[in-house]
């Protein structure tokens, strides 16, 4: 079964005032283990599409199912639970919890899932090591570089082994060196952890690393190529 199935999905903002057709009749399927980039010019609807897949925004038409569950059928609390158990999020501006250390940030989603402390410890150490940031695990986000913070964010997203990870322009705030190493690490996690990644980007170097590239224009898919 596919991880994500979107069928004829549309999104219309402000339907009652000045309607904006952000996504028009998009259908796509994401399989387990994919490393997929959603690309396209600014305003083409990348963020909107990712938000709908992530259950953060509602679908105007069509439907999206994740592992066979139609996310439109879930109420507020069930949807929150659904995100907690199935989806890892990486944000453009890192969005770590400033009062927690890097390691505590990585453990946070597992904490919300009420995992055991020993299991969390082990998993966080494992991920921080793989990410190459073990030595800064006791620092707070403010004491980390942007690249390090984003690696912590990827580790946090991976920690509870979600079905897939959504990353909206994860490298937009990073310099080219950090961008490259973050992508390498994501690719490595894709291999080692069998983690499914879906990320949006403008950046050609990031696009080059993707194994599937879905191009949006004016809210429609104009090309979908696999490498």
Partner 1 sequence: MILSLAWKNIWRSKKRSFVVIGAIIVGVWALVFMFAFYNSFIEAFSRNGVNHDYSHIQIHNPDYLIEPGLEFRLSEVEALEQSLNGSQSVKSWSGRQIVNGMLASPKTSLGVQIYGVVPDAEAQTTGLESQLLDGTYFSAIKRNPILISEKLADKLKVKVRSKVVITLQKLDREITAASFRVEGIFKSKSPRINESAAYVRLSDLQSLTAVTGLNEMAVYLNDSELILPVKDSLSAVTNDLVRTYREIAPEFDMMEQQSAMTKQIVTVIIMLALLFGIVNTMLMAVLERTKEIGMLRSIGMHKKSVFRMIILETCLMSLIAGPLGLFFGYLTNMWLETNGMDLSAYATALEEYGMDAIFYPSIENVTYPILMMVVIFTAFLGAVYPAIKAIKLDPLEAIRKL
Q: For partner 1, which is the closer residue by CB, 36 or 160? A: 160
Q: For partner 1, which is the closer residue by CB, 57 or 211? A: 57
DSSP string, 158-175: HHT--SEEEEESTTTTS-
Q: Are 11 and 48 in contact (CB under 8 A)?
A: yes
Contact between 74 and partner 1 per CB under 8 A: no
Number of Cβ within 10 Å of residue 68's Cβ equals 9
Q: For partner 1, which is the closer residue by CB, 35 or 94? A: 94
Task: Sort residue 195 into left (φ over 0), alpha (ψ -120 to 50) or beta.
Answer: beta
Q: How far is the CB of 135 from ligand ATP (least distance, A)?
A: 34
With CB under 5 A as the rule, give the number of residues binding Mg ion. 1
Contact between 112 and partner 1 per CB under 8 A: yes
Residue 208: φ, ψ to 5°: -60, -30
Contact between 75 and ligand ATP per CB under 6 A: no
Q: Which stretch binds ligand ATP (CB under 6 A): 41-49, 105-113, 174-182, 187-195?
A: 41-49
Helix residue ranges, H only, the chain: 46-53, 76-86, 102-112, 117-130, 146-159, 176-192, 204-209
d(CA 121, CA 204): 37
Contact between 42 and ligand ATP per CB under 6 A: yes
Contact between 121 and partner 1 per CB under 8 A: no
- 27's enclosing H/E stretch is strand 20-30
Contact between 171 and Mg ion per CB under 5 A: no
Among 7, 21, 63, 85, binds partner 1 (CB under 8 A): 85
Closest CA relative to residue 141, chosen from 90, 102, 182, 109: 102
Q: Which stretch binds Mg ion (CB under 5 A): 32-40, 41-49, 60-68, 131-139?
A: 41-49
Q: Give the C-alpha distances (Å, rounded to integers) separating 16 from 8, 48, 62, 84.
A: 21, 19, 19, 32
Among 4, 9, 22, 158, binds ligand ATP (CB under 6 A): 22
Segment 191 to 210, residues that bind partner 1, using CB under 8 A:
none
Q: For ligand ATP, which is the closer residue by CB, 105 or 200? A: 200
Q: Which stretch binds ligand ATP (CB under 6 A): 26-34, 38-46, 103-111, 184-192?
A: 38-46
d(CA 107, CA 213): 31
In the structure encoding, which two tokens stand for residue 51, read together?
């938000």
Residues making contact with partner 1 (CB under 8 A): 47, 51, 54, 56-57, 76-77, 80-81, 83-85, 87-89, 91-93, 95, 97-100, 108-109, 111-113, 156, 168
């Amino acid at each position: 079964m596919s991880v994500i199935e979107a069928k004829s999905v549309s999104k219309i903002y402000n339907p009652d005032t000045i309607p904006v057709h952000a996504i028009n009749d998009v259908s796509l399927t994401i399989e387990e283990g994919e490393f997929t980039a959603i690309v396209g010019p600014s305003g083409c609807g990348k963020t909107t599409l990712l938000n709908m897949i992530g259950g953060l925004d509602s679908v105007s038409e069509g439907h999206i199912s994740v592992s066979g569950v139609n996310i439109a059928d879930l109420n507020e609390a069930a949807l929150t639970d659904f995100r907690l158990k199935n989806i890892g999020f990486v944000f453009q501006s890192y969005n770590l919890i400033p009062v927690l250390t890097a390691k505590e940030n990585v453990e946070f989603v597992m904490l919300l899932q009420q995992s055991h402390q020993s299991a969390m410890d082990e998993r966080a150490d494992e991920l921080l090591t793989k990410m190459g940031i073990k030595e800064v695990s006791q620092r707070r986000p403010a004491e980390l570089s942007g690249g390090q913070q984003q690696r912590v964010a990827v580790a946090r997203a991976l920690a509870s082994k979600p079905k897939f990870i959504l990353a909206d322009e994860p490298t937009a705030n990073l310099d080219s060196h950090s961008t490259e190493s973050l992508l390498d690490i994501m690719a490595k996690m894709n291999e080692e952890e069998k983690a499914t990644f879906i990320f949006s980007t403008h950046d050609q170097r990031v696009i080059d690393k993707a194994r599937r590239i879905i191009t949006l224009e004016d809210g429609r898919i104009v090309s979908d190529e696999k490498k």
